[in-house]
Amino acid sequence: MEAENGEARLASKGRAGLMRIETQKKSAAVCHDDSTPPVKAQTIDELHSLQKKKSAPNTPRTARTPRQGQGASAFAIISEEEIQKQQLQSISASLASLTRETGPKVVKGDPARKAEGQKVAHSGHSIHDTFDISDSALKFTHVLYNLSPAELYEQAIRYEKGSFITASGALATLSGAKTGRSPRDRRVVKDETTENELWWGKGSPNIEMDEHTFMVNRERAVDYLNSLDKVFVNDQFLNWDPEHRIKVRIVSARAYHSLFMHNMCIRPDAEELEEFGTPDFTIYNAGQFPCNRYTHYMTSSTSVDLNLARREMVILGTQYAGEMKKGLFSVMHYLMPQRHILSLHSGCNMGKGGDVALFFGLSGTGKTTLSTDHNRYLIGDDEHCWSENGVSNIEGGCYAKCIDLSKDKEPDIWNAIKFGTVLENVVFEEHTREVDYSDKGVTENTRAAYPIEYIPNAKIPCVGPHPKNVILLACDAFGVLPPVSKLSLAQTMYHFISGYTALVAGTEEGIKEPQATFSACFGAAFIMMHPTKYAAMLAEKMQKHGATGWLVNTGWSGGRYGSGNRIKLAYTRKIIDAIHSGTLLKANYVKTEVFGLEIPTEIDGVPSEILSPINTWSDKKAYNDTLLKLGGLFKKNFEVFANYKIGTDNNLTEEILAAGPTF
């Protein structure tokens, strides 16, 4: 290298005898790396803004074919700004309080990330000349509208204590002091309409409140939400059947709640969101803020209130996200039957040939395990509608129990716990963030909420034809119910209304022997009308579409809990397979005593001796005594329903009663 032409020359030896390189720069030269062009940003904030690409419109802004029922205005070109303005005006109207009928001033975006001088779109509502405004009327409420899971992760981790990313990518959150639902704090407005339509009194989950008290609580919730710098708003759907879907709006103060509902409700696409308009039902989740215990009807600092006339729900004093899910389920139990659609607390799957099965069962009966079948499509795990079009899932996600979850026992749920999933109240290792699903340190009621698309064999859209089989599951710890029984329509109604299973020692504190538990329609906490109304609708649809009812016992055989053995899961799966294939319909049947159940004499892959419970008991007297005891428990439970009449006569009630145990 020649010194006069190069940029460097060798000089005298430096320390340790090494040659030292001296650099000689030309006076006009600038030393820089020009392998890539420099960024255009002039500040760090500008650089960060380049990281996030502005979303392009997903739907055309030019004229498009109007949908059914739309007029010529559907051909008009609507600007992005006008769409955003309409959305904000709708949200502002939802947040209107009694003293500010126009609603607060709302603006989209995170207040912490508003660049100085940034243009914002707002609702345009002005403050009228009045003396009854509060400071909240003088400020903007920032609306974080239908955020993506990634955006909600950022909000939760940055602002909500107890939010962490776990090793699998799921978001771990805490629901505060309440780690389960508060059924004694759930109230429904009793007015001239609901007084006659809903189920009130003994056995009913509906605790009454009046319109005035609801409005007091609504005002408290809305004022709290309006006082915040920002609120999260989700506009989503319930019911995968497009003909009968319900538009819901959830206004909440926590990113955790917004992500939970993003997963649990049906997610609209861009065009559906633009045309969303006014919601059919609105939730005001002010769960961080307690109700006023001096308010009439209040018995604690928690109140979950439904007003069916206003189509609104208010949550105060509990941050447990399941209140929103189950509150909307109760609403569907009211709205759908008015359209002659049956709402069901059940799992649902479909075979490759299009045969649909419904699975009903309380906790511990195996409903999740048996309705999850890799040879069949999952329509849904918990909430469904049965209309003239067939069955449809109400939800867009799954809410699975996580206690003692393992990859071997529940691989689908295990694999669904990944980025986008909400993990409630779980315990994890501080450094690795690996979740310990056996740890009950926070609560035993640990849960995962994830989109149904996370299940590999989910059927999207979540709809199917009319069911062929209705399977009622019971874990009979008394050991006297057969492994499977074919039910008549009247028996199906009786056992559907009963909703039986048995708790065993160890499942709940203080239980030493089997304890019968009954939950009307397998979901008594969520039904709105009398159970016999849902049972009559179920029987009508089964009869019309040729469905068969089955009672499947996943509990004990050869004796009650402690002396007998639990029926092997492999046998129960063989029974379910025989139901799906239709071979069980062709079997020979015999009738049992007391309950009058039709039981098959043989099933392929199942030992014939276990099909009749009395064969498995060595002490026949003990069997008969236990059978009569369980029959008596059924009769006692049914007393609350026995005096309820459907229609002008009592024929249906008598028919259902006759299908129960006789002795």
Upper half-sphere CA count for residue 103 (Cβ side, 13 Å)? 17
3-state secondary structure 369-423: HHHCCCCCEEEECCEEEEECCEEEECCCEEEEECCCCCCCCCHHHHHHCCCCCEE
Please give the positions annotated as active site.
181, 326, 345, 363, 367-368, 382, 447
Output the furthest CA–CA distance in the chain (Å, rounded).
116
Cβ-based neighbour number of residue 313 at 10 Å: 27
The token pair at 208 is: 């009454």
Is the link from the previous residue into 337 a cis peptide, with omega within 30 of 0?
A: no
Q: How many residues does the chain have?
A: 663
Cβ-based neighbour number of residue 111 at 10 Å: 14
The token pair at 52 is: 């996030």
Q: Are 143 and 108 in contact (CB under 8 A)?
A: yes
Q: Are 188 and 206 in contact (CB under 8 A)?
A: yes
Nearest 5°: phi and psi at 630?
-65, -40
Beta bridge partners of 347: 359
Q: Name residue 405's amino acid.
A: L
Pairwise CA distance, residues 460 & 466, whole Å? 17
Q: Quick one: which H or E segment has residue 651?
A: helix 651-658
Pairwise CA distance, residues 99 & 118, whole Å? 31
Number of helices (H), then strands (E), in the chain: 16, 34
Q: Name residue 374's amino acid.
A: H
